[in-house]
A and B are shown apart, each in its own frame.
Chain A
Amino acid sequence: MFVPLLVLRNAFRHKLRTTLTVVGIIVAIVAFGMLRTIVDAWYAGANASSSARLVTRSSVSLVFPLPLSYAPKIRQVDGVTRVAWANWFGGIYINERNFFAQFAISPSYLDMYPEFVLSDDERRAFVADRTGAIAGRKLAEKYGWKVGDQIPLRGTIFPGTWTFNLRGIYDGAEEGTDTSTFLFHYDFLNETIKQKLGGRGDQAGLYIEQLAHPDDAAAVSAAIDAMFRNSLAETLTETEKAFQLGFVAMSEAILLAIQAVSFVVIVIIMAVMANTMAMTARERYAEYATFKALGFSNGFVALLIFAESLGIALFGGLLGVALTFPAAGTFAKTVGSILPAFKVSADTIVLQLAAALVIGVVAAAIPAWRAARVRIVDGLRAIG
Chain B
Amino acid sequence: MTADAQVGTVDERREHAGGAPPEPLVAIRNLSKYYLRGDQVIPVLVDIDLDVPEGDFVALMGPSGSGKSTLLNLIAGIDKPSSGEIRIAGVDITQLSDADLALWRSANVGFIFQFYNLMPVLSAFGNVELPLQLTSLSRRERRDRVETALALVGLSDRATHLPNELSGGQQQRVAIARALITDPTLIVADEPTGDLDRTTAGEILGLLERLNRELDKTIIMVTHDPKAAEKAHRVVHLEKGVLVH
Chain B associates with chain A: yes
Q: Indicate if the CB atoms of B106 and A295 lie closer than 8 Å.
A: yes
Q: Mark B174-211, 1 if CB is under 8 A from A, else 0.
A: 00001000000000000000000000000000000000
Closest chain A CB from B164 CB (angstroms)? 11
Is B57 an interface position by the 8 A CB rule?
no
Interface size class of A (residues with CB under 8 A): 10 to 19
Cα-based distance from A2 to B131 in the complex (angstroms): 12
* Shortest Cβ distance from A12 into B: residue: B121
Is A343 an interface position by the 8 A CB rule?
no
Q: Indicate if the CB atoms of B102 and A297 lie closer than 8 Å.
A: yes
In the complex, what residues of B have CB within 8 A of residue A380's CB? 78, 113, 117
Q: Indicate if the CB atoms of A2 and B73 lie closer than 8 Å.
A: no
Q: Indicate if the CB atoms of A294 and B131 lie closer than 8 Å.
A: yes
Q: Mark B5-25, 1 if CB is under 8 A from A, else 0.
A: 000000000000000000000
Is B167 an interface position by the 8 A CB rule?
no
Q: Indicate if the CB atoms of A296 and B134 lie closer than 8 Å.
A: yes
Is B83 an interface position by the 8 A CB rule?
no
* Shortest Cβ distance from B107 into A: residue: A295
Max count, chain A CB within 10 A of own CB: residue among B102, B113, B119, B122? B102
Q: Indicate if the CB atoms of A295 and B119 lie closer than 8 Å.
A: no
Cα-based distance from A68 to B105 in the complex (angstroms): 91
Closest chain B CB from A15 CB (angstroms)? 12
Closest chain B CB from A289 CB (angstroms)? 8
Known: A2-B133, A294-B106. A13 touches B76 (CB 8 A): no
Q: Indicate if the CB atoms of A294 and B105 lie closer than 8 Å.
A: yes
Q: Indicate if the CB atoms of B120 and A295 lie closer than 8 Å.
A: no
Is A377 an interface position by the 8 A CB rule?
yes
Find B121's partner among A6, A286, A298, A377 (CB 8 Å cutoff).
A6
Cα-based distance from A306 to B19 in the complex (angstroms): 56
Q: Indicate if the CB atoms of B99 and A297 lie closer than 8 Å.
A: yes
Is A292 an interface position by the 8 A CB rule?
yes
Known: A292-B102, A293-B105, A295-B134. A377 touches B78 (CB 8 A): yes
In the complex, what residues of B have CB within 8 A of residue A130's CB? none
B residues 130-165 near A (Cβ < 8 Å) are: 130-131, 133-134
Closest chain A CB from B102 CB (angstroms)? 5
Find A286's partner among B78, B102, B117 (CB 8 Å cutoff).
B117
Is B96 an interface position by the 8 A CB rule?
no
Closest chain B CB from A73 CB (angstroms)? 80
Find A294's partner among B111, B120, B121, B122 (CB 8 Å cutoff).
B111
Q: Indicate if the CB atoms of B102 and A295 lie closer than 8 Å.
A: yes
Is A287 an interface position by the 8 A CB rule?
yes
In the complex, what residues of A have CB within 8 A of residue B133's CB? 2
Cα-based distance from A290 to B120 in the complex (angstroms): 12
Number of cross-chain contacts by CB at 8 Å: 54
In the complex, what residues of A have CB within 8 A of residue B106's CB? 294-296
Is B92 an interface position by the 8 A CB rule?
no
A residues 263-312 near B (Cβ < 8 Å) are: 286-287, 290, 292-298
Is B216 an interface position by the 8 A CB rule?
no
A residues 1-60 near B (Cβ < 8 Å) are: 2, 6, 9-10, 13
**Interface of chain B: mostly helix, strand, loop or mixed:** helix
Is A154 an interface position by the 8 A CB rule?
no
In the complex, what residues of A have CB within 8 A of residue B99's CB? 297
Is A375 an interface position by the 8 A CB rule?
yes
Closest chain B CB from A288 CB (angstroms)? 10
A residues 122-155 near B (Cβ < 8 Å) are: none
In the complex, what residues of A have CB within 8 A of residue B76's CB? 293
* Shortest Cβ distance from A297 into B: residue: B102
Max count, chain B CB within 10 A of own CB: residue among A6, A292, A294? A294
Cα-based distance from A264 to B113 in the complex (angstroms): 46
Q: Indicate if the CB atoms of B79 and A293 lie closer than 8 Å.
A: no
Is B1 an interface position by the 8 A CB rule?
no
Cα-based distance from A9 to B78 in the complex (angstroms): 27
Q: Indicate if the CB atoms of A6 and B122 lie closer than 8 Å.
A: yes
Is A376 an interface position by the 8 A CB rule?
yes
Cα-based distance from A356 to B121 in the complex (angstroms): 26
Closest chain B CB from A4 CB (angstroms)? 12
Q: Indicate if the CB atoms of B121 and A293 lie closer than 8 Å.
A: no
Cα-based distance from A292 to B103 in the complex (angstroms): 10
In the complex, what residues of A have CB within 8 A of residue B122's CB? 6, 9
* Shortest Cβ distance from A7 into B: residue: B121
Find A293's partner among B107, B111, B119 (CB 8 Å cutoff).
B111
Find A296's partner among B79, B102, B107, B113 (CB 8 Å cutoff).
B102
Q: Indicate if the CB atoms of B134 and A376 lie closer than 8 Å.
A: no
Closest chain B CB from A141 CB (angstroms)? 52
Q: Indicate if the CB atoms of B78 and A376 lie closer than 8 Å.
A: yes
Q: Indicate if the CB atoms of B119 and A290 lie closer than 8 Å.
A: yes
Q: Indicate if the CB atoms of B121 and A9 lie closer than 8 Å.
A: yes
Q: Indicate if the CB atoms of B79 and A375 lie closer than 8 Å.
A: yes
In the complex, what residues of A have CB within 8 A of residue B178's CB? 294
A-B contact list, 30 entries, CB within 8 Å = A6-B119, A6-B121, A6-B122, A13-B121, A286-B117, A287-B117, A287-B119, A292-B78, A292-B102, A293-B78, A293-B105, A293-B111, A294-B106, A294-B111, A294-B130, A294-B131, A294-B134, A295-B102, A295-B107, A295-B134, A296-B102, A296-B134, A297-B99, A297-B102, A376-B79, A377-B73, A377-B78, A377-B79, A380-B78, A380-B117
Given A10-B121, A286-B117, A376-B79, 4 more pairs with CB closer than 8 A: A6-B119, A13-B120, A294-B106, A375-B79
Q: Lowest 10 A-B CB distances belong to which pairs?
A: A295-B106, A9-B121, A376-B78, A290-B117, A295-B105, A377-B79, A295-B102, A294-B131, A293-B78, A295-B134
